[in-house]
Structure 1
């Protein structure tokens, strides 16, 4: 009992007596027995005791076995059905099916790679927002509280019943540089210039927040502005979705101010050759830089002012060898709706210089419906026309059913990339 501090075993002490065996420290083992104590050594395990295996019932085991058999049966059914399908086929037909699958997979990968590489096409909303901002080819000036807003008569009339009635009654006002001036008298209280600009932006794009004043200021101000806009809906009317109104504008062509003429010889522009197509200069300039530059050049030369004074639509003469007449309605429809409808291709009149002219004449005598190869050729020609017009949506736009490929897909199908 009279053990000194030097002989007392301590694992943390730098000095302790005894031999070398008593100086060693064993984790979890008591060393009191080595000093003469009667206590028995005890082992303290640092690991968790092993969990007892849970007894599983025979029903659960049977259920797992049935699930495994069901999964194995599902995977085997596909192979069995494929063998049954190909059991009566010829070897050449089976090889053709394999080549079709491989070609479809390669075309899908190529389409995904091309979609990642090319820039995203501008949508109708984006182009209409740019048109509202840059004021290309405006034909009416709205004067509200001393501020002048250059706008487009056709867009306002198609989107808002209030402006449709107002512009139809003020068609004979004196034209200015940008068009006729129309004084606005809005009966809704609290309407200011910023909110009126936001209203016009909504009519062009179908989205709130682009104009100044709607989302600015404190929450109370924003709520007040939204309340004023709700009151304006009672006076101006609630417009339809932008896509529906633009589709109706394409179908009825109200307030059209331009016509597209197609000539085999552009030098003879006065010679009438077929039916002209109506269009709106606002949409043409918004969707295609080619048409925008053409119309701006006419404004600089003074031809635009002469046509406006005479109240005659602008005639745009196109070379039919570059832009065939048969694709005119497809191009215009895509400009107004962002959709490529190949059913609008005129197969009855083959255009001069068209790549599918001979195929169209041959197929028309054999069948009433165009073949897949003809649709591929037409989509490829539309792709080249889209590049010429700088109209990316025509090349990348969604094709109406039953044709699920785009013009870009048709071009890649006919122009494979060599390894």
Structure 2
């Protein structure tokens, strides 16, 4: 570096050269100075990528492998990568809900009739009022449009037109649609007409909703009532919310004409404009939340559970509170829109607060995505303070994943760090002197690892340490691994360095990397490791030509021929509904089988896990309980006992990961 600088300094002093210097020498020095500056400009002064230090031990292990062992491990990683794609799609799966047009079109709450010849079409009066402005007035809610239309219009045209009226989707000739719109006075798009309907409802709506601070108060309490009154179209409200529909029907059955009174603890008045706008437009606008009207105390506590220190009027807090209101009113599409807002704020720094909120009745969909965010950057996450906010059960769920992006040593160190913090909390809670500023306070002086009770630490981290795949810890003699052995947190398997290959009877200490039993989980898909193997086999890494690590099913056989689908809840899921679920599931399995060639995955574990992920995605999209459908491969039960994962000829069971219990 110093040599380059001296050259550049000499080259940059061209102006100081004597005038007698020949022009050829000046030209050569000028070219050298230009090339030197160009090289220095490209020089990268940033720190080298830390992934090299993470993969160094792995590269050392591969350095003495035979080529077919490397190819077998590559095929294992390729199969896990397919599972990662399926897992990503399963995590993002949620019920597919209809748009406002399709929801209103399928609704039975229609209060207006349009007649054409001998045919009648039921529509919503508020929609007819804004979309069909040339309809004649009606006193009984029935109009005839024969005189408004030209003679060439037939019933097929009218059926398509009323479908267009709700959805803005037209399947016929554009000239016919243009003629019908001109005759019936439909000028604007559905979105524009729905906005006009929202404004008209405030004056002409046939029902009124009133919010009170206490539902037990008398309706005559005008002080509370005057603060939150709004008029809406009852047929629209009944079509969009099953909860409000039942309340409206109850009023109609009792022949009461008084307004619909709701408790503000269930529907805060600050969110009323947002919900009204959604009912008419299918859009979420959190700017409509009235900041001048206080949000109830319960919502603030929920908001603080998400991001402490943020303003209670931020989009994040408003969306988090609105999710619960939407679910209470059965406005599932509104709840999904709120989830999308929360997802836009999801990052590693917000993943834990959003995860804890989601698991506390917030959103199962967001909880899955928050976990995936943590797993994606787990090696950095274990060194953050957010690690200490997770419970033991959440940690177990994360560590059981096949896709944790960290080495097993990093995972172990994260478990030890979490366990030491948990032990420190217990010591602080049990110390006799609870005054934090005294000399004897644990929180003040801290506790060294050597001073901790290894027995208590072992009891705390025992549920987590069982998920560490000891056979894949690299380097195997890392100081954290050795300390965990000495403390009894990890169990050192007998004959760990003496692994005999059952087929060749040769001693192979790395047998567990490339010769994995059918039902074992095997190594995690740690992407830096996968990249090392992929680069190593770059000239011939076509996985279709690689040998299988186990016996593969017959060529050309579809996985559909091998799966069994059972109704897990026959008392809740009817036979007809189950047939619909089963048909959809088989279609999705067939699509993914064509895409990924699932039957050619190297091991039964991969095929079973792929099947479970596809099943999870389908039943989440169909909004069915997870336990409602059981899917497994013929010849294997949904749950496999540990004894089934190894044979007498293979290595000792304690040298291998626990078999999968996935479907």
Deviations 1:239-274 (A, max 9, x none): 322222212322343642222110122242343322
Q: 1:277 to 1:251 in 2, by over 3 A?
A: same
Q: What secondary structure sits across from 1:278 in the alignment?
A: strand
Asked if structure 1 preserves the Cα contact closer than 8 Å seen for 2:303 and 2:312, the reply is: no
Deviations 1:86-121 (A, max 9, x none): xxxxxxxxxxxxxxxxxxxxxxxx9976532x3123
Matched, 1:319 2:281: no
Q: CA deviation at 1:183?
A: 3.1
Residue equivalent to 2:289: 345
Matched, 1:123 2:99: yes
Residue equivalent to 1:393: 333
Point out where structure 2 has 5 or more consecutive residues left out of the alignment: 1-34, 50-86, 305-309, 360-366, 368-393, 396-663
Residue equivalent to 1:276: 229
Residue equivalent to 1:414: 357
Q: 1:251 to 1:159 in 2, by over 3 A?
A: same
Query: How far, CA to CA, are the matches of 2:296 and 2:312 in structure 1?
Result: 22
Q: CA deviation at 1:282?
A: 2.7
Query: How far, CA to CA, are the matches of 2:301 and 2:335 in structure 1?
Result: 21
Q: CA deviation at 1:384?
A: 0.8
Equivalent position to 1:241, from 189, 212, 218: 189
Q: 1:112 to 1:385 in 2, by over 3 A?
A: farther
Residue equivalent to 2:239: 286
Matched, 1:182 2:143: yes
Residue equivalent to 2:615: none
Residue equivalent to 1:56: none
Task: Figure out how many residues of one structure are paired with residues of the other and give that number.
Answer: 275
Residue equivalent to 1:331: 275
Q: 1:381 to 1:112 in 2, by over 3 A?
A: farther
Residue equivalent to 1:265: 214
Query: How far, CA to CA, are the matches of 1:121 and 1:347 in structure 2?
Result: 30
Q: 1:341 to 1:399 in 2, by over 3 A?
A: farther
Residue equivalent to 2:319: 379
Asked if structure 1 preserves the Cα contact closer than 8 Å seen for 2:323 and 2:338, the reply is: no
Asked if structure 1 preserves the Cα contact closer than 8 Å seen for 2:210 and 2:230, the reply is: yes
Q: CA deviation at 1:151?
A: 2.2
Deviates more, 1:198-207 or 1:320-329: 198-207
After TM superposition, list the pairs within 5 Å mapping 1:45-124 onto structure 2.
79=46, 114-116=91-93, 118-124=94-100
Query: How far, CA to CA, are the matches of 2:44 and 2:131 in structure 1?
Result: 56
Matched, 1:199 2:142: no
Query: How far, CA to CA, are the matches of 2:95 and 2:45 in structure 1?
Result: 40
Asked if structure 2 preserves the Cα contact closer than 8 Å seen for 1:386 and 1:395, the reply is: yes
Residue equivalent to 1:157: 129
Query: How far, CA to CA, are the matches of 1:208 and 1:146 in structure 2?
Result: 23
Q: CA deviation at 1:130?
A: 1.4
Q: CA deviation at 1:321?
A: 1.0
Asked if structure 2 preserves the Cα contact closer than 8 Å seen for 1:383 and 1:411, the reply is: no
Query: How far, CA to CA, are the matches of 1:383 and 1:149 in structure 2?
Result: 35
Q: What secondary structure sits across from 1:355 in the alignment?
A: helix
Asked if structure 1 preserves the Cα contact closer than 8 Å seen for 2:271 and 2:290, the reply is: yes
Residue equivalent to 1:144: 116
Backbone CA RMSD of aligned residues: 4.1
Residue equivalent to 2:600: none
Q: CA deviation at 1:376?
A: 2.9
Residue equivalent to 1:97: none
TM-score relative to the length of structure 2: 0.36
Q: What secondary structure sits across from 2:103 in the alignment?
A: helix
Q: 1:292 to 1:412 in 2, by over 3 A?
A: farther
Please state which structure has a larger fraction of its residues in helix. Answer: 2
Matched, 1:208 2:170: yes
Query: How far, CA to CA, are the matches of 1:237 and 1:337 in structure 2?
Result: 21
Q: What secondary structure sits across from 1:149 in the alignment?
A: strand
Q: 1:154 to 1:287 in 2, by over 3 A?
A: same
Point out where structure 1 has 5 or more consecutive residues left out of the alignment: 1-65, 83-109, 215-222, 308-313, 361-369
Deviations 1:257-306 (A, max 9, x none): 22211012224234332231122223212222212222233344444xxx
Q: CA deviation at 1:322?
A: 1.2
Query: How far, CA to CA, are the matches of 2:197 and 2:316 in structure 1?
Result: 29
Q: 1:401 to 1:353 in 2, by over 3 A?
A: closer
After TM superposition, list the pairs within 5 Å mapping 1:30-45 onto structure 2.
none
Residue equivalent to 2:180: 232
Residue equivalent to 2:249: 296
Deviations 1:287-337 (A, max 9, x none): 22212222233344444xxx5xxxxxx722111111111111111112222
Higher alpha-carbon Rg: 1
Deviations 1:2-34 (A, max 9, x none): xxxxxxxxxxxxxxxxxxxxxxxxxxxxxxxxx
Q: What secondary structure sits across from 1:143 in the alignment?
A: strand
Residue equivalent to 2:421: none
Q: CA deviation at 1:385?
A: 0.8
Bigger relative contact order (CA 8 A; separation at least 6)? 2
Asked if structure 1 preserves the Cα contact closer than 8 Å seen for 2:130 and 2:193, the reply is: yes
